[in-house]
Amino acid sequence: MLKLYIGNKNYSSWSMRPWVLLKAFGIPFEEVKLRFDFSPGSSFYQSLATLCPTAKVPVLVEADGFAVWDTLAIAEYIAESHPQLAIWPRDLRQRARARSLCAEMHAGFGGLRSLCPMNIEADLHAVGQQLLATEPALVSDLKRLNELWADALAANGGPAHPFLFGEFSAVDAYFAPVVMRTSRYGLPLVPAAAAYAQAVEQHPAVAAWVSDALAEHDFLDFEEPYRQPG
């Protein structure tokens, strides 16, 4: 059986993507959660050292020990291992566009990712409003995010198909942590993007991750730029 090594569910946006993808498509796997600890020699690093050279989560490991890391590489591996499942859109051009959107998120949106780290259990609406008033990079990233989601939905969506390319696929799993950010920081979305974010958060696989994150109760100060313990 596959093993997926992940970090804290409340904070680990990268881990969320392949976990949600595997859950959404009913692919069996064993979850191995490693509590974040980035100090030298920590059990977190020791557990990952023999799996991959990056010593970062997520890592997907086959029964024979073959490991795949990086969220895009993991999504592609899952798709190629399960060709009967529409992990990516079936249409050639839609598939290329979905990969383009994932790559854009993977390489860009630095303001959104750095200023609004994922924190599922926190209500950070006030922080979000302050950041929007003071951080042009966040405003720019949010504008592009609204455009990206709205354009994809206009081309492929509809009331019966609320996801970016109709049915839930890898691109929606990839943007699930972004939905967490827009929700927890109260970032404004245009109506189409807001409806999409709601559909993603209500998807059973995403809801399962969120439920687990809320049950962790593990405050890590190095992941908390805006809150204090207790």
Q: How many CA atoms lie within 13 A of 131 on its CB side?
A: 26
The pLDDT value recorded for residue 117 is 98
Indicate whether 34 pLDDT > 70: yes
All domains of the chain in start order, with CATH:
2-85 (3.40.30.10), 92-212 (1.20.1050.10)
| Dihedral angle computed from the Cα positions of residues 18, 19, 25 and 31, in that order, rounded to the nearest 10 degrees | 130
**Please, what sign has the CA dihedral across residues 46, 49, 54, 60?**
negative
What Å distances lie between residue 69 and 54, 74, 105, CA to CA? 8, 6, 17
The pLDDT value recorded for residue 161 is 81
Q: What is the pLDDT of residues 2-30, one digit of tens each?
A: 999 999 999 999 999 999 999 999 999 99
The pLDDT value recorded for residue 158 is 63
Indicate whether 54 pLDDT > 80: yes
The pLDDT value recorded for residue 159 is 65
Amino acid code (one letter) for 222: F
Distance from the first to the final alpha carbon of the chain: 39
| Calpha distance 191→194 (Å, rounded) | 5
Mean per-residue pLDDT over the chain, rounded: 96
Indicate whether 128 pLDDT > 70: yes
Q: What is the pLDDT of residues 66-101, one digit of tens each?
A: 999 999 999 999 999 999 999 999 999 999 999 999
At which residue do the structure tokens 């020791």 appear?
46
Q: What is the pLDDT of residues 177-199, one digit of tens each?
A: 999 999 999 999 999 999 999 99
